[in-house]
Amino acid sequence: MRPLVLGHRGYRAKFPENTGLAFREALAAGADGVECDLQKTRDGELVVIHDPRTGRVANADRDVHKSRLAELRALDFGKGERIPTLDELLRALPPDSWLDLELKDETITERDCAQIAAVLDCAFPRKRLMISSFDPRLLYPMRDRGFVVGLLVGEEVARRGLLALVATLIRLRPRYVNLPIDILSAFGAAKARRVVRVLRALGLSVLFWTVNTREEAAFAAPLAEIIVTDEVELVLAAVHGTRVPR
């Protein structure tokens, strides 16, 4: 069975990331769903943006946590796109799409999880949703509310080693471990496969991010339930064994 393919921040390779346009285009290109990031504004609004500041993706640099939603709405995030709220994103997604929602610990705290859960339950089916984060503290309250959670594994976790990761996983009991595809170049294919086998032995499912080449897709597809990519069409073609669209 082929893995689900999710557009990383939408169709990031071709459209402004984490915008309505990028999400629509990812789904139009054939993605099963999208991955996106959640931050919180000064006035408590939940907005879809990766960085805690807007400078990299918008026409002005603002601190998200020190700005009101109206101030952020005034910015151009590329091609005339405005910053979406979580509620707007959820209501725009088709009911058969999948969502991987990453909670960003620069502005989100455990106290925000009740609000996030309430917004999600009003607009999106839990069976097609995963909550992910690098910070396990943000995942515990979502897991305790019955959401599927995935622990993102980054450099900090990798530096602590596999045993420390396993200890965290035993405490958290997530459904997914979200692995960087960089482990392929860092460990080599054989060792990376052994890591996946250990995770499987613990009863965990695997997501690989951010898979952007045919070679990476060929490695990840047999091992993962979910692949997250900037290059939606390229990875879909690799997973399905078809030619990349021009």
- Confidence class for position 223, pLDDT limits 50, 70, 90: very high
Q: What's the mean pLDDT in 48-71?
A: 98
The reported pLDDT for the residue numbered 246 is: 44
What is the per-residue pLDDT across 42-51, written as a single tens digit (0 to 9) for each?
999 999 999 9
Q: What's the mean pLDDT in 172-200?
A: 94
- % of residues, the chain, pLDDT over 70: 97
* CATH code reported for the domain at 4-240: 3.20.20.190
What is the per-residue pLDDT across 86-117, written as a single tens digit (0 to 9) for each?
999 999 999 999 999 999 999 999 999 999 99
User: If we measure between CA atoms, which residue out of 224, 238, 212 comes closest to residue 9?
Assistant: 212
- Who's near 132: CB < 8 A, 6+ residues apart? 100, 101, 102, 103, 139, 149, 150, 151, 152, 176, 178, 207
Rounded CA-CA distance 5/211 in Å is 10
CB 237 within 8 A of CB 244: yes
Taking all residues of the chain, what is their mean pLDDT, rounded to a whole number? 95
The reported pLDDT for the residue numbered 1 is: 83
Q: What's the mean pLDDT in 68-72?
A: 98
> Residue 41 pLDDT > 90, yes or no?
yes
> Residue 242 pLDDT > 70, yes or no?
no
- Confidence class for position 245, pLDDT limits 50, 70, 90: low
Q: What's the mean pLDDT in 81-90?
A: 98
The reported pLDDT for the residue numbered 158 is: 64
- % of residues, the chain, pLDDT over 90: 89
- Confidence class for position 244, pLDDT limits 50, 70, 90: low
Is this structure's pTM higher than 0.85? yes
